[in-house]
Structure 1
């Protein structure tokens, strides 16, 4: 063999050798097969995958891609379990266990800012009851339809409908709601950090009609924008305004309000995150366009930032906070910002409501996973939607702190404008249908102690 022929053969085979090397280091997705989605449309599932048919994935990235896909699917709250399998023939199998989506049931609800506050009096007057019907995966398209008939402490009759994807590319969504709300009782003042109520026996303290429309834009997997416009027409009893002259500027509230929220959500499991981060920015303008009646206005911004870390083995750390700044408000109760409602409170101060013009809350949690997530099978239950229960337990220690600027009602509430700090220990249980149960022992800087039961993740 002469030298020219040798070089010709060598360079002829080089592209083939390079192709073989590349094909061994990548995975080509030839097709995607979904299994177990008896209700959910396949396009809803494919929307959550970071790959599609004919995509090429580096072999070194497959584990990360699988983890991302499974987390995205679980965070839709449509599935108990999601397993993504890359098969050798290029077929990707998505194995899913769907949840139960239809919930027609009677309910009882405690109309207090937290469960422990209600336990002090255990008043049945603060209990709301009614019929709640919801479909969490209406038509198999991840739409949500809710109908509510509520009576007791508060009365409400209404509906809401949410469609996350109205366009072919599944980026735009809408939601609407409407209803009637009224109550014989209402919180109308705050003194020494205790909300003061007003009650009428034979008539409503307030009643009104509300409706809203919102549009959502989802960019990629993790960023969402939501703009909502809401209308309400609420009437307040004359005797309420006589008893609490600082409650509102008039007996009729009628107008438009606006809300805008942008979110970036990179948490591994939204109901109880262990790894990742979350950030949002919100702008609220209540009473932006008054049509009639009083002119109570409240304009404020609010932002959350949270970070979740795995330290080592079963140890995890989380830190996060919320900052709220009031841009414009008046001196009435309706236009006052409070710390102490929803999840906006410093642990150790679960019994206090603190009025503030601006506030910041910082939370820290160090936790240890004493029982890793286990799947408990219930043999007497046949359906897969209920017979496999995921269960995990964590013990934790925490430290919270908060700052506030004095605003309305500061004179009769001494904690307004004060630095707050609280710490303690707790145990958390996480189970299916996104349920979280937390039992915490707390202490604050004034050496006040308490045991609190909570139903959401701490951060």
Structure 2
């Protein structure tokens, strides 16, 4: 009997040991070392561009409880490069001490060359308000995304119409723990210009056949990125501007010192923190941007204008509140150290930052703040459709998503030199209303809003983020 009990105990122990030995791939060992990182689908993109977006590298030790979050954030980083339609990351355990990573990407179309026909305006609603049949540009657009497979950008743009423009732009972005740089040359010529603000709307003058304003500018930038989410950028710019006497007669303060020519330097430093799930249409995460700039530094003796300092702060927060419900808030504050600047440098709401319901308006001022809030409901989650008959693989997969939203924006502009016919500065501004956003391929977001403001304006407004 005693021998029988001993044999049963030995048999049970052997079975337990056998079961343990037969399951070496169960991820119980912590931490594990990253073994191979294998990348496929990158026919043009260098492997280093993709690997630089990962939060881990070969040889790193990773706690298995952290692996899913690291994988998801790495996938978001790669997707946010705007180089790929699809990014997938998977992993396997070849042994009890190692984890291998598999990355599959589907590249986008990178070379664009086509005739250009576009509307001119601060936004599409303002274009519809001011268009007299001449607010169009047409020309040629050449763009090479992911130039040389290194995430570089090369762009050529030639247009005429409302404005004549030529742009040559090269950008070499900073990868993680590396620096980047860029150079840009721009030439503008206008025969229709906004010269003043009245009733919080821009007034325009047109002079057919003669240029009202000619502007040449050169820009050099240096950037550095560290720890994936932190960016530094330094830019030095030179501007050479010539205004016609007709423009100066309508607004003597258009350029510094009331002169017809202006040659100035601009220096800016930008710091960014970006930890959002998407740069195109974020639903979770944080973003912060801080800008310090010295603008309008005259480099000739024509004017005694010394320029001005400008500081800007942008904070953006977005978070899932409930299933399919999200909240988003953006805070923007801008201030300069002078109560008034030449109209060429005019700041305020409506130029680069607008409130919903104020699309027709520009509210001039030296200092302004804006708080834009959005409650979002995911009406139609992302859907992918494959068009099998499309010969170009880069366009064969189409995705789209629809979001219902309600906007509620507030702002305030400080203007100590308020023009007699402008009444929105130095007053609280409110804009609100429902809308619908369509998010689709190649980072396109189309917004359809019906908005109101506290000054009685209302209307249907279309917004889209196409930047060429």
What TM-score do you get using the length of structure 2 for normalisation?
0.89
- Tell me what 1:190 maps to: 197
Q: 1:22 to 1:66 in 2, by over 3 A?
A: closer
SS in 2 for 1:291: coil
Matched, 1:351 2:360: yes
SS in 2 for 1:158: strand
Whether the 8 Å CA contact 1:348–1:442 is kept in 2: the answer is yes
Describe how 1:210-229 pairs up with structure 2 within 5 A: 210-229=217-236
Deviation at 1:181, TM superposition (A): 1.4
Whether the 8 Å CA contact 2:27–2:93 is kept in 1: the answer is no
Q: Deviations over 1:230-275 (max 9, x none)?
A: 0111111122212322322211111211121111011110010000
- Tell me what 1:310 maps to: 320
- Tell me what 1:360 maps to: 369
- Tell me what 1:5 maps to: none
Matched, 1:64 2:74: no
Q: Deviations over 1:335-365 (max 9, x none)?
A: 33121123x1221111111111211111111
Q: 1:413 to 1:121 in 2, by over 3 A?
A: closer
* Residue in structure 2 matching 1:85, options 86, 90, 94: 90
SS in 1 for 2:252: coil
- Tell me what 2:336 maps to: 326
Q: 1 CA distance for matches of 2:339 and 2:76? A: 41
Q: 1:20 to 1:132 in 2, by over 3 A?
A: closer
Matched, 1:162 2:171: yes
Describe how 1:174-323 pairs up with structure 2 within 5 A: 174-248=181-255, 249-294=258-303, 296=305, 297-323=307-333
Structure 1: unaligned runs, 5 residues or longer:
1-16
Deviation at 1:140, TM superposition (A): 0.3
Matched, 1:417 2:426: yes
Q: 2 CA distance for matches of 1:206 and 1:295? A: 21
Q: 1:299 to 1:349 in 2, by over 3 A?
A: same
Q: CA RMSD in A?
A: 2.2
- Tell me what 1:137 maps to: 146
Q: 2 CA distance for matches of 1:284 and 1:350? A: 26
Q: Deviations over 1:117-146 (max 9, x none)?
A: 222354331111111111110000001001
- Tell me what 2:79 maps to: 74
Deviation at 1:321, TM superposition (A): 1.1
- Tell me what 1:120 maps to: 129
Q: 2 CA distance for matches of 1:50 and 1:130? A: 42
Matched, 1:47 2:52: yes
Q: 2 CA distance for matches of 1:326 and 1:98? A: 43
Q: 2 CA distance for matches of 1:331 and 1:300? A: 11
How many pairs were matched up?
A: 439
Q: Deviations over 1:33-68 (max 9, x none)?
A: 110001100011110000111122222111101101
Q: 1:289 to 1:118 in 2, by over 3 A?
A: closer
SS in 1 for 2:394: coil
Whether the 8 Å CA contact 1:106–1:130 is kept in 2: the answer is yes
Q: 1 CA distance for matches of 2:302 and 2:205? A: 21
SS in 1 for 2:405: strand
- Tell me what 1:9 maps to: none
Deviation at 1:410, TM superposition (A): 3.3
Whether the 8 Å CA contact 1:389–1:432 is kept in 2: the answer is yes
Q: 1:331 to 1:388 in 2, by over 3 A?
A: closer
Whether the 8 Å CA contact 1:336–1:408 is kept in 2: the answer is no
- Tell me what 2:15 maps to: none
Deviation at 1:21, TM superposition (A): 10
Deviation at 1:22, TM superposition (A): 9.0
Whether the 8 Å CA contact 1:298–1:335 is kept in 2: the answer is no
Whether the 8 Å CA contact 1:287–1:295 is kept in 2: the answer is no
Q: 2 CA distance for matches of 1:121 and 1:232? A: 27
SS in 1 for 2:134: helix
Q: 1 CA distance for matches of 2:371 and 2:227? A: 29
Farther-moved stretch of structure 1 (117-126 vs 127-136): 117-126
Whether the 8 Å CA contact 2:381–2:402 is kept in 1: the answer is yes
Deviation at 1:179, TM superposition (A): 3.1
Farther-moved stretch of structure 1 (350-359 vs 296-305): 296-305
- Tell me what 2:116 maps to: 107
Whether the 8 Å CA contact 2:348–2:413 is kept in 1: the answer is no
Describe how 1:377-396 pairs up with structure 2 within 5 A: 377-396=386-405
Q: 1 CA distance for matches of 2:214 and 2:302? A: 14
What TM-score do you get using the length of structure 1 for normalisation?
0.91
